[in-house]
A = this chain, B = another copy of it.
């Protein structure tokens, strides 16, 4: 099989971290084995879907015993390139940027925030958690020196595209965007979005 034939659908890739998170909880609970049926029950995803998703990457389960929790966890970590720690920068030191920079949930899941930037002279130099806020003007040199590939954007919507352009120029390859707009970036850069309002608006659809 060549690489193109073998390309895994984006939606499948997006579910792997969800499986990893469940396996991590199972591991913490001391569970040794699990099954696609058990994962299905935990996650509200059908067991057939889970088996199909995992089959893109090889044969993990054993007839009768199911999946080794630690084994599948380790395989997924490798597939997602989480067998190392990825540094991250945060641009925007407002409420959201400050909360994200200080979020304790990155450790042990593969990520570490290494710098927090802002373009507001009143904020540059201030302490936010463990960070001293740096000037956006330093982003380029910082990214070059520290080989950071991922950034989170937490600036007002009207500045987000400009920040994204700067990050792309610096060589950032993945952007997690908290600003409520769609970003235009080259196809070599992967953007993911977090906008709580989109989730809330989806929920109100289901209410009468």
Interface residues of A (CB under 8 A from B): 13-14, 16-18, 20-22, 25, 42-44, 79-82, 86, 88, 95-96, 98-100, 102-103, 105-106, 109-111, 149-150, 152, 173-174, 176, 180-182, 190, 192-207
Contact = CB atoms under 8 A, between A and B. Distances in A.
Q: How many copies does the complex hold?
A: 2
B182 A203 contact: no
B204 A176 contact: no
B176 A199 contact: yes
A192 B199 CA distance: 6
B196 A110 contact: no
Contacts of A44: 182
Given A111-B197, A173-B207, 19 more contacts: A13-B206, A14-B202, A16-B202, A17-B198, A20-B201, A21-B197, A43-B182, A44-B182, A80-B201, A80-B202, A81-B207, A82-B201, A86-B204, A95-B103, A100-B196, A109-B197, A110-B204, A176-B199, A176-B203
